[in-house]
Structure formats: C-alpha cells, structure tokens
Amino acid sequence: MIVTEKLSRIYKQGDFIIKAVDNISLKIQKAEFTAVVGPSGSGKTTLLNCIGGLDTPSLGKVIIDDENISNFKRDQIIKYRLNNIGFVFQSYNLIPVLSAKENVEMIMLLQGYNKKFRSERSEDLLNQVGLYEMKNRRPSQLSGGQQQRVAVARALASKPKFILADEPTANLDSISTNKLLDIMYKLNQDEKITFIFSTHDQRVIDRAKRVISLEDGKIFNDQKI
C-alpha cells in the first residue's frame, strides 16, 4: 500500500514560494488502477515524483508498505527504485542502441539476475505486450506505440510493487493508446499490478478505476469508479 501523509513539496523561485504539492494525504491500495489528473501545474507530476522517490518532500512523508521512503539516503532510494518501482515515461526513453529485448533486460541486469532468467523473463514480458516477434528490433525500428509497450515491459521486468506512468499515451494515436491501455489493464487484472498514471487523456481517465483530481497542489476530488 502507498500512503502519503500531509505531503508537501515547496519550491522557491526567486522571491516566490511555489507549493507544487500542498498537504496531500492519500492511500493507494495494491492492484489499483489509478489516474492522477489535473491541469498543467496542478502538481500531479510532482506528486508522482515524490511517490517514486525521485523528489524529496518538503513536508510530510511517503510510506510504501510501511517503509517511509522520504527518509532514505541517496543510494538507498536508488536501490529502492530499482527493486520496487517501475517507470513508464511519456517519451518512452528507451536506449536507442539496445534491442527491445535488451532494453527490457537492462533493469534485470542492474538487479543482478543471471542471463538465463533475464532472457526468459524479457521474452515472456515482450510476449505479454505483444512484441515477442520484434524483440530484436531497436527502438528506431518500432512505432511510438510499440516503443511504449516495450517501456511497459521494461517497467514490469523488475517485478515492481507499482508502476508510475507519466502521461504514457500523450504521444500515441488512438489505436496505440487503446492497445497499451488494454495491456496495462490486463496486467492489472491478471497480475494485480498497481498502476498510477498522471494524465490528461480522457481515454485513460475513462479506463481508470480511481481518479484523483488535483488543482493548485491539492486534491479536490478523489473518485473510485
């Protein structure tokens, strides 16, 4: 379970103080399919960054499975991210010189898994996202939708507790979006993987089982569907 307790992230910009996240407390249960929505500057990305251990809260804490990750030291949080959190980026951010399979294997390499395990798991994950046949292609040989599916497979490779996805469909057409959402939804249903999206995309919001709406760094609506 992911818990934020009175979480605030305050930035100083010249003489101005910006509260990107303002006193947010929420709980996200395992296997939730949650969308964090809101206009630009509402704080959804900062919230996800704090949950993902990429940003340090100014006040409050982030507790994941009873562990307060806000107090972790740099090396500790890097290791924590590696083993517990999957990331899906808006621009896929695959390594261009590696094949789809190697991109998926990358995270397992960092975790120190052996070659056989890495190979089997990466092929299995690529199979799940429907890209087994394209496992040897490099990112430049894949469409945007396919690259994002590889990114999902990569995020799953480390067997994370949850996956944070920042506007995963922002660069995709509707067919690719639907296909990606189908895959993520299926993984959520079948393997009970927790997904947290930040998004503007109505198609994602429509598929989410919980929608947290932010405005000016605060939750103004938290709706379970």
Binding site for other proteins (CB under 8 A): 45, 48-49, 52, 54-55, 75, 78-79, 81-83, 87, 89-91, 93, 95-98, 106-107, 109-110, 112, 154, 158, 164, 166-167, 198
For residues 174 and 182, what is the distance between their CA atoms, to the nearest angstrom? 12
Closest by alpha carbon to 152, among 119, 116, 179? 179
What DSSP state is assigned to residue 167? S
Three-class DSSP category at 210: strand
CB closer to other proteins out of 15 and 75: 75
CB closer to other proteins out of 78 and 175: 78
| Smallest distance, other proteins to C-beta of residue 79, A | 7
| Smallest distance, other proteins to C-beta of residue 33, A | 17
| Smallest distance, other proteins to C-beta of residue 48, A | 5
| Smallest distance, other proteins to C-beta of residue 213, A | 18
CB closer to other proteins out of 139 and 190: 139
Q: Which alpha helices (DSSP H) does the chain contain, by range?
A: 44-51, 74-84, 100-111, 115-128, 144-157, 174-191, 202-207
CB closer to other proteins out of 108 and 208: 108
| Smallest distance, other proteins to C-beta of residue 97, A | 4
CB closer to other proteins out of 52 and 217: 52
Strand pairing class (33-37; 210-215): parallel
To 10 degrees, what angle do helices 100-111 and 115-128 make?
A: 130
| Smallest distance, other proteins to C-beta of residue 7, A | 16
Closest by alpha carbon to 142, among 75, 203, 92? 92
| Dihedrals phi, psi of 161, to nearest 5 degrees | -75, -35
CB closer to other proteins out of 88 and 211: 88
